[in-house]
Amino acid sequence: MEDELKQLYEVIKFRKENPMEGSYTNYLFSKGRDKILKKVGEECTEVIIEGKNDSKENGISEICDLLYHTLVLMADMGIEVDEVYQELNKRSQKIGNLKGERKDIEIL
Protein backbone atom coordinates (compact mmCIF):
# COMPACT_ATOMS: atom_id res chain seq x y z
CA MET A 1 0.00 0.00 0.00
CA GLU A 2 1.37 3.37 -0.96
CA ASP A 3 1.62 6.17 1.56
CA GLU A 4 -1.38 8.42 0.96
CA LEU A 5 -0.11 11.13 3.33
CA LYS A 6 3.13 11.41 1.38
CA GLN A 7 1.23 11.50 -1.91
CA LEU A 8 -1.07 14.25 -0.66
CA TYR A 9 1.90 16.16 0.73
CA GLU A 10 3.64 16.00 -2.66
CA VAL A 11 0.51 17.41 -4.35
CA ILE A 12 0.42 20.21 -1.77
CA LYS A 13 4.10 21.03 -2.37
CA PHE A 14 3.52 20.96 -6.13
CA ARG A 15 0.62 23.42 -5.76
CA LYS A 16 2.81 25.69 -3.63
CA GLU A 17 5.55 25.69 -6.26
CA ASN A 18 3.16 25.74 -9.26
CA PRO A 19 0.12 27.85 -8.39
CA MET A 20 -3.08 26.75 -10.07
CA GLU A 21 -6.00 29.13 -10.38
CA GLY A 22 -9.01 27.96 -8.40
CA SER A 23 -6.92 25.68 -6.16
CA TYR A 24 -7.94 25.79 -2.49
CA THR A 25 -4.39 24.84 -1.55
CA ASN A 26 -3.03 27.84 -3.44
CA TYR A 27 -5.67 30.03 -1.80
CA LEU A 28 -4.32 29.00 1.62
CA PHE A 29 -0.70 29.66 0.61
CA SER A 30 -1.63 33.04 -0.88
CA LYS A 31 -3.32 34.10 2.36
CA GLY A 32 -0.28 33.14 4.40
CA ARG A 33 0.61 31.32 7.58
CA ASP A 34 -2.01 33.02 9.76
CA LYS A 35 -4.82 31.74 7.51
CA ILE A 36 -3.31 28.25 7.45
CA LEU A 37 -3.02 28.25 11.25
CA LYS A 38 -6.61 29.45 11.57
CA LYS A 39 -7.80 26.54 9.43
CA VAL A 40 -5.74 24.03 11.46
CA GLY A 41 -7.35 25.41 14.63
CA GLU A 42 -10.85 25.26 13.16
CA GLU A 43 -10.39 21.69 11.98
CA CYS A 44 -8.94 20.65 15.32
CA THR A 45 -12.02 22.05 17.05
CA GLU A 46 -14.28 20.17 14.64
CA VAL A 47 -12.42 16.92 15.40
CA ILE A 48 -13.01 17.52 19.10
CA ILE A 49 -16.71 18.19 18.54
CA GLU A 50 -17.15 15.03 16.47
CA GLY A 51 -15.23 13.07 19.10
CA LYS A 52 -17.70 14.29 21.70
CA ASN A 53 -20.62 13.52 19.37
CA ASP A 54 -19.23 10.00 18.92
CA SER A 55 -19.92 10.12 15.18
CA LYS A 56 -17.40 7.84 13.47
CA GLU A 57 -18.32 8.91 9.92
CA ASN A 58 -18.13 12.63 10.69
CA GLY A 59 -15.04 12.03 12.80
CA ILE A 60 -13.24 10.44 9.86
CA SER A 61 -14.17 13.37 7.64
CA GLU A 62 -12.98 15.97 10.13
CA ILE A 63 -9.75 14.07 10.84
CA CYS A 64 -9.06 14.06 7.08
CA ASP A 65 -9.64 17.84 7.00
CA LEU A 66 -7.26 18.29 9.95
CA LEU A 67 -4.59 16.11 8.34
CA TYR A 68 -4.86 18.03 5.06
CA HIS A 69 -4.54 21.43 6.72
CA THR A 70 -1.67 20.15 8.89
CA LEU A 71 0.13 19.00 5.73
CA VAL A 72 -0.37 22.47 4.22
CA LEU A 73 1.17 23.97 7.36
CA MET A 74 4.05 21.50 7.16
CA ALA A 75 4.71 22.48 3.53
CA ASP A 76 4.61 26.14 4.49
CA MET A 77 7.11 25.49 7.28
CA GLY A 78 9.35 23.25 5.13
CA ILE A 79 8.70 20.18 7.29
CA GLU A 80 8.82 16.90 5.35
CA VAL A 81 6.56 13.93 6.10
CA ASP A 82 9.63 11.73 6.59
CA GLU A 83 10.86 14.09 9.33
CA VAL A 84 7.59 13.60 11.20
CA TYR A 85 7.79 9.83 10.66
CA GLN A 86 11.35 9.84 12.06
CA GLU A 87 10.22 11.71 15.16
CA LEU A 88 7.29 9.34 15.65
CA ASN A 89 9.70 6.41 15.34
CA LYS A 90 12.01 7.93 17.98
CA ARG A 91 9.05 8.44 20.30
CA SER A 92 7.89 4.87 19.82
CA GLN A 93 11.25 3.69 21.16
CA LYS A 94 10.76 5.44 24.50
CA ILE A 95 9.69 3.35 27.44
CA GLY A 96 8.69 4.55 30.87
CA ASN A 97 8.15 8.18 29.99
CA LEU A 98 4.60 8.34 31.35
CA LYS A 99 3.77 11.84 32.40
CA GLY A 100 1.52 12.27 35.40
CA GLU A 101 -1.77 14.09 35.35
CA ARG A 102 -1.49 17.83 35.06
CA LYS A 103 -2.50 19.89 38.02
CA ASP A 104 -5.84 21.66 37.82
CA ILE A 105 -5.74 25.37 37.12
CA GLU A 106 -7.11 27.10 40.20
CA ILE A 107 -6.85 30.76 39.23
CA LEU A 108 -6.36 32.29 35.82
**Mean pLDDT of all residues in 79-107:** 83
State the pLDDT confidence band at 54, using cuts at 50, 70 and 90: confident
CATH code for the domain defined by 4-79: 1.10.287.1080
Stated pTM of the model? 0.84
CA separation for the pair 56, 85 (Å, rounded): 25
Query: What pLDDT band is residue 1 in, cutting at 50, 70 and 90?
Result: very low
Q: What angle do CA 12, 30, 75 make, to 5 degrees?
A: 30
Q: Please report the pLDDT score of residue 62 as a whole number.
A: 97
CA gap 46, 81 in Å, rounded? 23
Distance CA 13, CA 38 (A): 19
Confidence (pLDDT) at 16: 96
First to last CA, the chain: 49
d(CA 79, CA 86) in angstroms, rounded, equals: 12
* Every domain of the chain and the residues it spans: 4-79
